[in-house]
């Protein structure tokens, strides 16, 4: 029987390293692939591009595992299809989720395109999620480790994506992954996990956006609609963010307690409200461009839950279609619902699908 070939996306982190290790032990011919998607983020100490450091780490692991290693340069595609749309959305006052777009347009399709050219049978990543084959196709499931589950970021994957993808660490916890790495003497077994924007990393969001979006002073209103100050630009902030001078807000009067951004309106207007104010809470949202993981399965009518941010608590609710639009009503009012962010629907551990939230 011909040995199956798998192309594994290796980031230099412990999760993708263990994914490659497990697949090799399962008898696959493993090819490690490092994706260079963004080269502007620098190490604050060395001044070196962060992708160079991460590539060195991934290359070292590949050498230890005695597997082939390649570097894929998708920087042009990443800028065109992820970074540029992200800036455009922020400029409109939305709060986009580039990690989801990256998985949908860059990571999974382009990795598979290269895999086919190399004669590989499938691709794999170190995501904490699971795939289940059923009669009508494939289901996407949450990972075993509920503190690391990454299914939220994968809800835009298609049946085609799932048909040739493996998630080797989906049935493991992060602790188990680190233990496997340590046992097999992988030097990154205790490496700190990445955070921030996919391939860009953790950045000061306001400073990052200021590179492309110029300041444009706008009004700050209180819940009654009275102007109480100004802000540097609606694009730099998101719903639920705490208001403060350090962010560039100029408030004309002293605000008692904590105040948060409640609404972002047209004409560059921001409405703020004190903690626990009704304006901060929303119970109903519209879902733009609802994507279903398996369109052949019916939307569950019972026990449907939703997540409005990665690892935020699952909240029960109901979905209905009205005048061609999908509306999701939560069982309780929620705060920090930002237009442009994603709502992901779950039925038990299964990801049903999701879409962009609008109010």
122 noted as active-site residue: no
- Write the DSSP string, 85-115: HHHHHHHTT----HHHHIIIIIIHHHHHHHH
- Residue 147 counted as domain residue: no
Both 229 and 285 in one domain: the answer is no
Residues 81 and 224 reside in one and the same domain:
no
Instruction: Please report, for the domain that includes residue 331, its CATH number.
Output: 2.40.30.10
Do 351 and 256 have their domain in common? no
Residue 248 sits in which domain range?
Answer: 217-275
**What's the rounded Cα separation, in Å, for the pair 150 and 142?**
7
The one catalytic residue among 198, 209, 271, 319:
198
130 contacts 170 by C-beta, under 8 angstroms: yes
Give a yes or no: residue 91 inside a domain: yes
Answer whether 316's CB lies under 8 Å from 329's CB.
no
Q: Give me the CATH number covering residue 108.
A: 3.40.50.620
- Mean pLDDT, the chain, rounded, equals 91
Tokens standing for residue 350: 């299964």
| Residue 347 falls inside a structural domain | yes
Low-confidence ranges of the chain (pLDDT < 50): 42-48
The answer to whether the beta carbons of residues 18 and 168 sit under 8 Å apart is yes
Read off the pTM: 0.90
- Tens digit of each residue's pLDDT (9 = 90 or more) over 203-212: 677 788 888 8
CB atoms within 10 A of CB 9: 23
Q: How far out from the chain centre does Cα 346 lie?
A: 16
Catalytic residue from among 21, 35, 86, 102: 102
Q: Say how many C-beta atoms besides its own lie within 10 A of residue 258's C-beta.
A: 11
Could you give the CA distance from residue 146 to residue 173 in angstroms, rounded to a whole number?
8
* C-alpha dihedral, 49 to 51 to 57 to 59, nearest 10°: -120
Same-domain pairing of 9 and 111 = yes
DSSP character string of 21-66: HHHHHTT-EEEEEEEE-----B-TTT--BHHHHHHHHHHHHHHHHT
Examine the domain organization and report whether 269 and 346 are in the same domain: no
Q: Are residues 288 and 342 in the same domain?
A: yes
One domain for residues 45 and 176: yes
Domain membership of residue 191 (yes or no) is no
Among candidate residues 275, 291, 316, the one where a domain is terminated:
275
Q: Pick from 283, 282, 228, 237: which is nearest to 255 by CA? A: 228
Same domain for 234 and 179: no
- How far apart are alpha carbons 273 and 252 in whole angstroms? 15
Query: Would you tell me how many other CB atoms lie within 10 Å of the CB of residue 57?
Result: 20
What pLDDT does residue 50 have? Answer: 74
**Helix residue ranges, H only, 104-222:** 108-117, 159-163, 174-183, 205-210
| 98 within some domain | yes
Q: Is the domain of 71 the same as that of 174?
A: yes
Domain assignment present for 151: no
Q: Check residue 254 and give its pLDDT.
A: 86
> How many structural domains comprise the chain?
3
Q: Are strands 218-221 and 165-166 parallel, antiparallel or unpaired?
A: unpaired
Same domain, 33 and 177: yes
Judge whether 5 and 29 are in contact, CB under 8 Å. yes
Catalytic residue status for 198? yes
Q: What angle do CA 271, 87, 235 make, to 5 degrees?
A: 15
Are 33 and 179 part of one and the same domain? yes
Inter-CA distances, 335 with 51, 132, 196, 254, Å = 36, 33, 21, 24
223 found inside a domain: yes
Position 121 in a domain:
yes
Both 239 and 298 in one domain: the answer is no
Structure tokens at 103: 């998985």
**8 A C-beta contact, residue 287 and residue 156:** no
């Amino acid at each position: 029987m011909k040995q199956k070939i798998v192309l594994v996306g290796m980031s230099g982190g412990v999760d993708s390293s263990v994914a490659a290790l497990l697949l090799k032990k399962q008898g696959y011919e493993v090819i490690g692939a490092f994706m260079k998607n963004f080269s502007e983020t620098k190490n604050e100490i060395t001044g070196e591009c962060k992708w160079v450091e991460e590539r060195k780490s991934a290359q070292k692991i590949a050498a230890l595992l005695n597997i082939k290693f390649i570097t894929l340069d998708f920087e042009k595609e990443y800028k065109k299809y992820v970074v540029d749309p992200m800036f455009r959305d922020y400029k409109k006052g939305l709060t986009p989720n580039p990690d989801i777009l990256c998985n949908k347009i860059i990571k999974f399709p382009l990795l598979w395109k290269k895999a086919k050219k190399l004669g590989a049978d499938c691709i794999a990543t170190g995501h904490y999620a699971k795939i289940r084959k059923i009669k009508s196709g494939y289901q996407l499931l949450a990972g075993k480790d509920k503190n690391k589950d990454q299914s939220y970021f994968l809800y835009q994957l298609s049946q085609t994506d799932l048909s040739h993808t493996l998630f080797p660490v989906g049935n493991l916890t992060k602790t188990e992954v680190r233990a496997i790495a340590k046992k097999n003497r992988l030097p990154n077994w205790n490496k700190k996990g990445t955070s921030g924007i996919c391939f860009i990393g953790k950045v000061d969001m306001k400073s990052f956006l200021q590179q492309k979006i110029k300041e444009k002073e706008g009004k700050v209103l209180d819940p009654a609609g009275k102007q109480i100050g100004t802000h540097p630009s609606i694009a730099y902030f998101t719903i639920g963010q705490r208001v403060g001078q350090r962010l560039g807000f100029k408030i004309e009067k002293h605000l008692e307690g904590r105040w948060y951004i409640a609404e972002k309106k047209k004409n560059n207007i921001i409405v703020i409200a004190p903690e626990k104010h009704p304006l901060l809470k929303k119970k109903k949202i519209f879902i733009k461009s609802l994507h279903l993981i398996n369109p052949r399965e019916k939307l569950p009518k019972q026990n449907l839950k939703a997540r409005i941010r990665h690892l935020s608590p699952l909240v029960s609710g109901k979905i209905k279609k009205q005048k061609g639009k999908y509306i999701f009503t939560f069982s309780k009012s929620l705060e920090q619902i930002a237009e442009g962010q994603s709502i992901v629907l779950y039925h038990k551990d299964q990801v049903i699908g999701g879409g962009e939230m609008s109010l």
